[in-house]
Structure 1
Amino acid sequence: MPLRNKTVAIVCGGPSPEADVSRLSAGRLSPAVEKYFEKVIHLELDEQLPAQLLTHKVDVVFPVAHGPMGEDGSLQGLLDIMGIAYVGSGVLASASALDKSVTKRILHAAGIPLAKDQIVHRHEELDSCVQRCLDCLGEQVIIKPLGQGSGIGVQFATGHEDLREKLGESFEKDQKLLVEEFIAGKEITAGILDLEDTTLLPVTEIITPDGAWYDYVHRYTPGLSEHIIPAQLPEQQYHRVQEIALKAHQLLGCRDLSRSDFVVPEVGCPIFSELNNLPGMTPTSLFPDGARAAGIPFEKLVCRLLDHALKRGGQQTDKENYWPLPELAIS
């Protein structure tokens, strides 16, 4: 169990479109953390954060600032520099996982099954860009921002005119986009809890009413989605999902926790979609549900994550015990 006299900061908010959702996660975390620690504070991810961390003499941070700046290695780098322990992946894994293109290139090299894709840029001639996507990916495609979560900015398109219109709209928001082939199948997710030992959480199937896509509204509105645990998949597909989720976690260098999303067709191999290296902790979030199904209640999950982060400590290099350097003759 963690030491009660440690100060915990739950960091949320920030410039990401997911700031409000991150505050939902923070609100749910607080009661659980307060049962084990004497001092628990909420801090916003803004220019005042470094001073606030010093003022409150924070021992460990539980980051729930989703999306850019909070989940892409920026916050993690700040905490490393300050020597403050924190829950979750380090700088490189965080940056790699939030960028969908980087994630896919790393996993493709390891043979992970992925949807075919094209990276498109705002500066490209739009019609040739559209035609390239249709030629490579087929008539039905999905457009995704490279560095956003929670389904933000995701659009489905069919045919030249539809894709042209939606790419044009998307380029008004993002300079670079990921366009993937559309694959029909079940929406599936699987979490990894990677502490003293590694736990493959039960696989979850996501059901939305009337076949609606699991978008931002369906993710965070109670009652608009159902989590089926364990997912109703053939045994071979079920175990393959867990195997790929673990491999993705390891290949990207994640630590503590991650959640991988899949599309699983009726027959054949599950198709990896993306990895969330800092899963949400809201009342409708998937990772806590998976942990609960594995026999880990929410309070215990939070406690174990913080305890593990404290044991790991800050990431400052111990200069005294690092590689010795020869002295330089500098005048």
Structure 2
Amino acid sequence: MADLDRVLVLAGGLSPEHEVSVHSGRSVAEALRRLDVEVQVADVDATLLDRLTADPPQVVFPVLHGSAGEDGTIREVLDLVGVPYVGAAPAACRLAYAKPTAKALMAARGVRVPRGAVLPKSAFHDLGAPALLARLADRLGSPLFVKPDRGGSAFGATPVTGVQDLSAALVSCFAYSDSALVEEQVQGTELAVGVLDTGDGPTALPPVEIVPDGGVYDYAARYTAGRTEFFCPARLPEEVLAAAREVALTAHRALGLRDLSRTDLIVTDGGEVIFLEANVAPGLTETSTFPMAAAAAGLDFAVLCRELAHQALLRG
């Protein structure tokens, strides 16, 4: 069996999630170093291709959030240069990164998803914003949730209580994407369910219940210590938790993901599990739910990172 000696962690990038990626990359690098794995950390820049070609690492561990990191671009480049890497292949990344596509795939498998509509910025200009806003409100009711059709870390995502707030929410959304996903805002308990596969098939980690201060799990609530309470496992009946784990596994398989993923869900007061989105590069910071769930499952984060990297090495 091949020995794992040298790993390149890719972190940073040019997306708004740069700082989160840097923190995630630092966590992975420190974890692997604790197990005596030689680790280098690099950002995505004009030197990357030369670096990968001149001195290729055994494995790349991409911890890049947002565009390029999660839309398949970097993984496509790694495939081109023939360097094995942790995580999903490019095609699967593209499916998961496009929220409307992921929702459609899950709905086709019988999983409930929020009702919604996807509209580009140009539609509001060409068809008249007031009429289109009124139609959205009539069709979907209120409250609503507006978010970019691609992206993460809640950038450009805004809860909307009434049609009077819809226009401002769309302006915020279009700062991060050319298309907006406008959905009914489902009330309930927010869960994050990690899925891990270190070689024996995908396994769902304990669901993490998310209770943000102020009720909205925005960027500050995600990455500021003390702004959000987490409960792992979530404070829900076991049959509901089992259903949540099954939805996360369905997402992982339906989207063709591998190694690790995170699925975001809402559980209604009636116990119905609703799919929101799937993430191919879950946050791995000290306030991220994936490491929290792994710890609750009795897994050592450093060993987990090493196993994922070693699996990528064998696959490569």
Question: Fold match, TM over 0.5?
Answer: yes
Write the deviation string for residues 218-240 of structure 1: whole angstroms up to 9, x where unpaired: 11111222221111112221111
2:7·2:58 contact (CA, 8 Å) conserved in 1? yes
TM-score after normalising by structure 1: 0.90
Separation (CA, whole Å) in 1 of partners of 2:41 and 2:2: 19
Shift in Å, 1:300: 1.0
Q: Does the 8 A contact of 2:56 with 2:83 survive in 1?
A: no
Check whether the contact 1:249–1:258 (CA below 8 A) recurs between aligned residues. Answer: yes
Match of 2:206 in 1: 202
Partner amino acid, structure 1, of 2:212: T
Amino acid at match of 2:89: G
Structure 2, unaligned runs of 5 or more: none
Which residue of 150, 172, 185 maps to 1:182? Answer: 185
Q: CA deviation at 1:2?
A: 6.5
The one-letter amino acid paired with 1:100 is K
- Flag the structure with larger Rg: 1
Return the match for 1:167 from 163, 166, 170: 170
The letter of the residue matching 2:256 is G
User: Take 1:226 and 1:2, find their aligned partners in 2: how far apart are those partners?
Assistant: 41
| Residues 52-91 of structure 1: CA deviation (Å, up to 9, x unaligned) | 1223321100000111001110000001111111000000
Task: State the AA in 1 paired with 2:3.
Answer: L
Match of 1:258 among 251, 256, 261: 261
**Structure 1, residues 195-221: CA drift from partner, whole Å, max 9, x if none?**
211322111101223x43111111111
Partner of 1:275: 278
Structure 2 contact 148–174 (Cα < 8 Å) conserved: no
Q: Distance in 1 between matches of 2:263 and 2:175?
A: 29
What's 2:70 paired with? 71
Residue of structure 1 equivalent to 2:112: 113
In the TM superposition, residue 149 of structure 1 has moved relative to its aligned partner by 0.6
Match of 1:104 in 2: 103
User: 2:41 is matched by which residue type in structure 1?
Assistant: H
Residue pair 1:45, 1:65 contacting (<8 A) in 2 also: no
Q: Relative to structure 1, is the Cα distance of residues 207 and 172 closer, same or farther in structure 2, using a 3 angstrom cutoff?
A: closer
Report the residue type matching 2:136 in the other structure: C
Letter in 2 for 1:54: T
Gaps of 5+ in 1: 314-331
Contact 1:89/1:253, CA 8 A, preserved across alignment: yes
Distance 1:265 1:127 in 2: 32
RMSD: 1.5
The answer to whether the Cα contact below 8 Å between 1:2 and 1:303 also exists between their aligned partners in 2 is no
Superposition TM-score, scaled by structure 2 size:
0.94
**Cα separation, 2, equivalents of 1:38 and 1:54:** 21
